Structure 1
Amino acid sequence: MQRAKRRLSAIMCADVAHYSKLMERDEDGTLDRLKAYRMVMASLTERHDGRIVNTWGDAVIIEFSSVIEAVQCAVEIQNELSFQNNELPDINRMEFRIGINLGDIMVEGDDIYGDGVNVAARLQELAPKGGIMLSQSVYDQVKSKLALGFESLGPQSVKNVSYPVETYAIRLGGRNQPEVSDEVPPGDGAGTASERDWEQGTAAVANGFDQLRSWLRGQPRRIRSCVFVIGFFFLLNLVTSGLSSLWFIWPSLPFLVMLGWHVIVGRRQKHGGPKIQSGD
């Protein structure tokens, strides 16, 4: 009997939160939306050199040779699907839960098996809707390499795994953060609420910059160049004359037009439209 091949891989498992309820409410609409969202996931997976191993029902298993690419792909998937969900009423929104593990797997043809896959599947079950859950092995590889916020959730007991799994959530615009009470604890001064608002505002700005950096990494060189030039003119405007007169718009206008054109073409290609060569 031939021995199964093994390799170290980053495994992403994803499924739709409350999928049965969505199907019960609107089968045709839910299925159409699932197909559309899977096209988004397939496009981003290809961009990050991943391989879709299997899909059944509402679930997806994806393999990556790079754990960095796996996490970047997961963040982009959740950000893009969140953007598309914003255009829908709450009752029709389809939100995925994602778990990522780095582990040794067995390979048989196009299929993969083993504890590395099982842990990723259990992490996905622990993830909040619209969220991403990481194992310790993934966190150790990405914590100092990606500009993301992480939250340690401690060891979790999961089905069919004999040992507790250390878990970490990625903060995505607050979707993974624990709820914070607005009540001021007894004995705190009047300035406590203001300090808390300042910290939350600072965290929101930092998270916005993190998401922008993550988005830019996955864009073609021309888009990154346009954003850089526009940002340069804005900072020059800010330093020389404040924001009393927004003269930076005029030298930035050609780059804004180029940026808009690339974004429109990118969305057209993503949704199955004719491809246009960008020169990259």
Structure 2
Amino acid sequence: MERTRRRLAAVMCADAVHYSRLMEADEDGTLDRLKDYRDVMSGLTSRYNGRIVNTWGDAVIIEFSSVIEAVQCAVDIQTDLASRNADLPQATRMEFRIGINLGDIMVEGDDIYGDGVNVAARLQELAPAGGITLSQSVFDQVRNKLALGFESLGAQTVRNVSEPVEAYVIRLGGKNEPCGARTADASETGAAADAGQSHVDEVLVSGINQARAWLRRQSKRVRGCVFMIGFFFLLNLVTSGLGTLWFIWPSLPFAMMLAWRLVFRQDQTAEKAVHGND
């Protein structure tokens, strides 16, 4: 029987979010997607010199000799999977939580055991969907070596670990969410902004058309007053901008004439209506 050995290693634990619900909705599609996503993880693990230790159900345990490469691998995994999920309906997306711990592990054959593995599994449970949570030991090694943002979760009490665990979440894309989700939110926000701008444009065009129709119904004197007020306003805008509104003073006689003509005309219209009723 092979003797149990010990060594320091970075351990990554990844687990699918809402896997049972996905299987209940579509067993074949979910299993195919799980296999595809595991292939992604396997390829990136090899690139960063890691070793897939075990896969059971929807979980994956990976061992790395370098904590830097472990974190880089996790970020690439979440980025790649978020990109793939972005093309899928929300109900069929498969997201993973990832936890990474640097600690002493026991090695027996191809399997690994011990608190180093257990803490990684508990950190995975603390991660947001599509996110990555690190232990204090991992954070200390990567915070000044990788261009990533981090958010402290403080000391967390987790299952089967006697002491609280200091945990940190990596900010993917500047947020605690996968890049794919962030892109989707940005797209929705952009669409809403375009819709709002379109509505503003419609209202503006409608207002201009109504103003033109009203002006065409007025007498020459009323149109002349409106023209002169508009002329002085444009001259003010060109020469002084809106900082100094001097156009009010030369426009005042035309504005008074315009008001008088409009009021006088309304009074005449009302008087004719009264006599007509008599």
Please classify the TM superposition score into its range, dividing by the shorter chain length: 0.5 to 0.7
Look up the equivalent residue of 2:5 and give its one-letter code.
K
For the 8 Å contact 2:10–2:65, the answer to whether it is kept is: yes
Structure-1 residue corresponding to 2:41: 41
Q: Is 1:92 the counterpart of 2:92 in the alignment? A: yes
Q: What are the equivalent positions in structure 2 for 1:21-32 lying under 5 Å apart?
A: 21-32=21-32
For the 8 Å contact 1:130–1:175, the answer to whether it is kept is: no
Give how far 1:176 is off. 1.2
Give how far 1:125 is off. 0.8
Q: TM-score, normalised by structure 2?
A: 0.62
CA distance in 1: counterparts of 2:40 and 2:4, whole angstroms: 32
SS at match of 1:49: coil
Structure-2 residue corresponding to 1:17: 17
Q: What are the equivalent positions in structure 2 for 1:54-73 lying under 5 Å apart?
A: 54-73=54-73
CA distance in 2: counterparts of 1:16 and 1:150, whole angstroms: 22
Q: Is 1:82 the counterpart of 2:76 in the alignment? A: no
SS at match of 2:158: coil
Cα RMSD, aligned residues only: 1.1
Give how far 1:22 is off. 0.3
CA distance in 2: counterparts of 1:79 and 1:153, whole angstroms: 22
CA distance in 2: counterparts of 1:175 and 1:29, whole angstroms: 30
For the 8 Å contact 1:53–1:62, the answer to whether it is kept is: yes
CA distance in 1: counterparts of 2:175 and 2:19, whole angstroms: 19
The count of aligned residue pairs is 177
Structure-2 residue corresponding to 1:53: 53
Larger Rg: 1 or 2? 2
CA distance in 1: counterparts of 2:65 and 2:71, whole angstroms: 12
Structure-2 residue corresponding to 1:187: none
Look up the equivalent residue of 2:139 and give its one-letter code.
Y
SS at match of 1:162: coil
CA distance in 1: counterparts of 2:175 and 2:133, whole angstroms: 12
CA distance in 1: counterparts of 2:27 and 2:3, whole angstroms: 43
Look up the equivalent residue of 2:142 and give its one-letter code.
V
CA distance in 2: counterparts of 1:32 and 1:17, whole angstroms: 16
Structure-2 residue corresponding to 1:269: none
Give how far 1:58 is off. 0.1
CA distance in 2: counterparts of 1:2 and 1:28, whole angstroms: 39
| Runs of 4 or more above 2 Å deviation | none
Question: Are residues 30 and 117 of structure 1, via their aligned partners in 2, closer, same or farther at CA, if it must alter by over 3 Å?
Answer: same
Question: Are residues 60 and 9 of structure 1, via their aligned partners in 2, closer, same or farther at CA, if it must alter by over 3 Å?
Answer: same
CA distance in 1: counterparts of 2:96 and 2:2, whole angstroms: 37
Structure-1 residue corresponding to 2:272: none
Structure-2 residue corresponding to 1:161: 161
Look up the equivalent residue of 2:132 and give its one-letter code.
I
CA distance in 1: counterparts of 2:64 and 2:109, whole angstroms: 16
Structure-2 residue corresponding to 1:123: 123
CA distances 1:61-94 after superposition (whole Å, capped 9, x unpaired): 0000000000000000000000000000100000
Give how far 1:4 is off. 1.6
For the 8 Å contact 2:3–2:108, the answer to whether it is kept is: no
CA distance in 2: counterparts of 1:129 and 1:45, whole angstroms: 20
Question: Are residues 26 and 6 of structure 1, via their aligned partners in 2, closer, same or farther at CA, if it must alter by over 3 Å?
Answer: same
CA distances 1:133-191 after superposition (whole Å, capped 9, x unpaired): 000000000000000000011000000000000000000125516xxxxxxxxxxxxxx
Any gaps of 5 or more consecutive residues in structure 2?
178-278
Look up the equivalent residue of 2:170 and give its one-letter code.
I
CA distance in 2: counterparts of 1:160 and 1:88, whole angstroms: 36
Structure-1 residue corresponding to 2:170: 170
CA distance in 2: counterparts of 1:19 and 1:66, whole angstroms: 30
Any gaps of 5 or more consecutive residues in structure 1?
178-280
CA distances 1:100-147 after superposition (whole Å, capped 9, x unpaired): 000000000000000000000000011111000000000000000000
Q: Is 1:101 the counterpart of 2:121 in the alignment? A: no
Give how far 1:2 is off. 6.4
CA distance in 1: counterparts of 2:79 and 2:170, whole angstroms: 12
CA distances 1:230-253 after superposition (whole Å, capped 9, x unpaired): xxxxxxxxxxxxxxxxxxxxxxxx
